[in-house]
Amino acid sequence: MMAKPSPIPTGSTMPSVRPARLIAGLAMLASLLAPLPASADAARDMAKAAYDLPFLLDTVAGGPTVDQAGRARTAADFADDLVVVGLVTTHCPSLCVMRALDLAAVAKALPDGVRAHLRLVAISVDPADRPADLAGFADGLHLDAARWTLLATDAGQAARIRDAIGRQVHRAGDDGAEPSTNLFLFDRRGRLMQSFGGRALDRARLARDLVALDAFDAAASSPHP
């Protein structure tokens, strides 16, 4: 039985972690969690997915992907941000909603300085989801438009993302399959630093990792004497 998560930190005190060791370990763990490729091309694609935010955001046939407001979006829009990426469909009956509410709760509980650098991205893997559908999904859950970006995909991009990140893993009766519940945490340079799997999100762990990664990125970007 999974241990009950500890409460999400709500103050500004930094946890007692060693960010450099944590980040190195998380990057290695993420590579180990990736599914085995079926071909050399798939292996290259998954390497990009693991360490490159543009792989997820910048490859739609005929132009850049668009968000819930119909605006063109690329990875450059998230420069210098901590980014948590997950998959969604607007007809997802339960898990997508649960993940979105979990992430909203984590963001709300973060220290102000960390929350200011956090962006939450939900990529639809149903090509039938259009910007208006994504906007309705976000509005129905009262997601903060300043923090949340929901992205539409075409059929090719949706298939590529499912292959690289995780195929649909849960079937929910007549409502169809729900997308993978995996979440991916990228640092301010667009590199994957951690992945979170399982149906129940460990909010406390995600919050601690965000605080530690923010501190690590801040230290790495500071001028050295």
Q: What is the full per-residue pLDDT of the chain (225 aa) written as tens digits?
A: 434 433 333 333 333 334 444 444 444 434 433 433 344 454 444 444 445 777 777 655 556 789 999 999 888 899 889 999 998 999 887 888 999 999 999 999 999 999 999 999 999 988 899 999 999 999 999 999 999 999 998 888 888 777 776 554 444 433 446 788 888 899 888 888 888 877 788 999 999 999 999 998 888 766 555
Residue 27 belongs to domain spanning: 19-220
The alpha-helical segments, DSSP class H, found in 52-142 are 53-57, 95-109, 112-115, 131-140
Q: How far apart are CA 150 and CA 187, in angstroms?
A: 19
**Residue 96 labeled ligand binder:** yes
**Do 72 and 63 form a contact (C-beta atoms < 8 A)?**
yes
13 within some domain: no
**Do 161 and 153 form a contact (C-beta atoms < 8 A)?**
yes
**Residue 190 labeled ligand binder:** no
225 within some domain: no
107 within some domain: yes
14 within some domain: no
How many other C-beta atoms are found inside a 10 Å radius of the C-beta of residue 91? 15
**Do 97 and 114 form a contact (C-beta atoms < 8 A)?**
no
Domain holding 94: CATH number?
A: 3.40.30.10
How many domains does the chain divide into?
1
8 within some domain: no
Give me the amino acid identity at 28: M
* pLDDT at site 225: 54
